[in-house]
Amino acid sequence: MPELPEVETVMRGLAKVLDGQRIVAASIARPDMRWPFPDGLVTRLTGARVLGFRRRAKYMLMRLDGGDSVLIHLGMSGRMVARRAQDRPNEPVAHEHFTLETEGGTHVGFVDPRRFGSVDLVATAREDGHKLLAGLGPEPLDDAFNPQVLSDALAGKHTPIKAALLDQKVVAGLGNIYVSEALYRSGISPRREAYSVAGARCLKLVPAIKAVLEESIAAGGSSLRDYVQADGGIGFFQERFRVYDREGLPCDDCPGEPKCKGIQRIVQSGRASFYCPRHQR
DNA sequence: AGAAGGCCCTGCGTGC
DNA sequence: TGCACGCAGGGCCTTC
């Protein structure tokens, strides 16, 4: 599920039900996530008030009034499920590893079948110093992410541009879907060596990255196999994919072009890439 | 030191 | 219908 637009959407949904709320209970059903839940998580949450949320790359940070922030990563299959206490079924929710309850009677559960997700505690004043955040590159939607910055990050790299954009040190928050989509919109082949994208091609690539992310956030993210949003609603950006998971379908940018064989699927560093070899060079 | 591959884990779709 | 296999939105760690 979750790349930047999905995490942003989930976070906004959580903020709606948790901002300003006091947490009256928390419980851990299964501690062996990617990393174990941190010591003291339940203690620090119980009785704390939620001050607000922030997103960094694909991480959510929930600030508490005691000076702690809860750092949450959804991994591949994680989602947050909010429900009213009176609606809670008696049987446990499958793969709900962590649950908190507010004074207002809302339950929020962290559901993650594959358990690639993680939760940690960090002092709010030192959030960005956390080891998982410290090495991250620029936020793609910030003004600080511009063609010059990306160009500098790509200079000298001989890895394919696809792999470079997945590297969270280059730019933070892109994943497999949005890299393919942004490269398609820029007319750049995912196979092109990263250093050769530095310079003029970044003038197209950077706006394409920002546009695809903004459009997806506006659509509530992409829902593939799982629901995305905290209220159980789904996102709709998957209906606007131009290349992702569209192998063999016609390329929108080559109408009536006999040399266009449609969207191709290749594997790069073990992950699928989708592109049109005719106009992505 | 940069880059490629393995691995963590469960569920689902496909093809035999 | 059942089973084996491949694949899935991420990212850390090891190896070369």
- pLDDT tens, position by position, A35-70: 999 999 999 999 999 999 999 999 999 999 999 999
> Torsion-angle region of residue A270: left (phi > 0), alpha (psi -120 to 50) or beta?
left
Query: pLDDT grade, residue A14 (50/70/90)?
Result: very high
Among the three residues A75, A94, A129, which one is the final residue of a domain in this structure?
Answer: A129
Which bases in strand B are touched by protein, i.e. have an atom under 7 Å from a CB? 2-12
pLDDT at A227 over 80: no
Query: pLDDT grade, residue A174 (50/70/90)?
Result: very high
Cα separation, A77 vs A28, whole angstroms: 18
Alpha-helical segments (H) within A63-199: 147-154, 161-166, 176-186
- Residues A15-20: what's their mean pLDDT? 96
Residue closest to C11 C1′ by Cα: A75
Q: What tokens were used for A236?
A: 């709709």
Express each pLDDT in A128-167 by its tens digit: 999 999 999 999 999 999 999 999 999 999 999 999 999 9
Alpha-carbon torsion, ordered A59, A116, A45, A96, to 10 deg: 130
Least confident window among A58-67, A91-100, A220-229, A237-246: A220-229
Least confident window among A77-86, A184-193, A254-263: A254-263
Q: What is the distance between the terminal CA atoms of chain A, rounded to a whole angstrom?
A: 28
Are A168 and A265 found together in one domain? yes
Q: Is A134 inside a domain boundary?
A: no
Query: pLDDT grade, residue A258 (50/70/90)?
Result: confident
Are A162 and A205 found together in one domain? yes
Are A82 and A197 found together in one domain? no
- Rounded to whole angstroms, the distance from the CA of residue A89 to the C1' of nucleotide C13 is 40
- Which stretch of DSSP H or E encloses residue A201? helix A200-218
Are A114 and A195 found together in one domain? no
pTM of the model: 0.96
Question: Which range marks the domain in which residue A161 is found?
Answer: 147-275
- Looking up residue A119, the CATH number of its domain turns out to be 3.20.190.10
From A44, A56, A58, A246, active-site residue: A58
Q: Count other C-beta atoms under 10 Å from residue A200's C-beta.
A: 10
Q: Is A138 inside a domain boundary?
A: no
Instruction: Provide the pLDDT for residue A88.
Output: 62
From A88, A271, A277, A278, active-site residue: A271
Are A151 and A122 found together in one domain? no
Cα separation, A245 vs A223, whole angstroms: 13
Instruction: Provide the pLDDT for residue A90.
Output: 58
Calculate helix-pair angle for A4-18, A200-218, nearest 10 degrees. 40
Q: Is A121 inside a domain boundary?
A: yes
Alpha-carbon torsion, ordered A210, A156, A199, A3, to 10 deg: -10
A2 assigned to active site? yes
Are A104 and A164 found together in one domain? no
- A258-276 in b/e form (b: 16+ CB < 10 A) is eebeebbebebeeeebbbb
- Rounded to whole angstroms, the distance from the CA of residue A120 to the C1' of nucleotide C9 is 21
pLDDT at A232 over 90: no
- Rounded to whole angstroms, the distance from the CA of residue A79 to the C1' of nucleotide C9 is 12
Cα separation, A19 vs A16, whole angstroms: 6
Q: Is A137 inside a domain boundary?
A: no
- Looking up residue A230, the CATH number of its domain turns out to be 1.10.8.50
Among the three residues A129, A162, A193, which one is the final residue of a domain in this structure?
Answer: A129
Instruction: Provide the pLDDT for residue A167.
Output: 97
A30 CB closer than 7 A to any strand B atom = no
Instruction: Provide the pLDDT for residue A165.
Output: 98
- % of chain A beyond a pLDDT of 70: 97
State the DSSP code for A21: P
Q: Count other C-beta atoms under 10 Å from residue A90's C-beta.
A: 4
Phi, psi at A100, each rounded to 5°: -130, 160
Are A125 and A165 found together in one domain? no
Are A11 and A105 found together in one domain? yes
Are A171 and A204 found together in one domain? yes
Q: Is A158 inside a domain boundary?
A: yes
Query: pLDDT grade, residue A125 (50/70/90)?
Result: very high
Cα separation, A33 vs A103, whole angstroms: 27
Are A120 and A188 found together in one domain? no
Q: Is A281 inside a domain boundary?
A: no
**Cβ-defined contacts of A39-46 (< 8 Å, 24+):** A40/A121, A41/A70, A41/A119, A41/A121, A44/A68, A44/A121, A45/A70, A45/A100
Express each pLDDT in A73-123 by its tens digit: 999 999 999 988 777 655 678 999 999 999 999 999 999 999 999 999 999
Q: Is A251 inside a domain boundary?
A: yes
Domain count, chain A: 2
Q: Is A259 inside a domain boundary?
A: yes
Cα separation, A269 vs A134, whole angstroms: 24
Are A89 and A170 found together in one domain? no
Are A167 and A114 found together in one domain? no
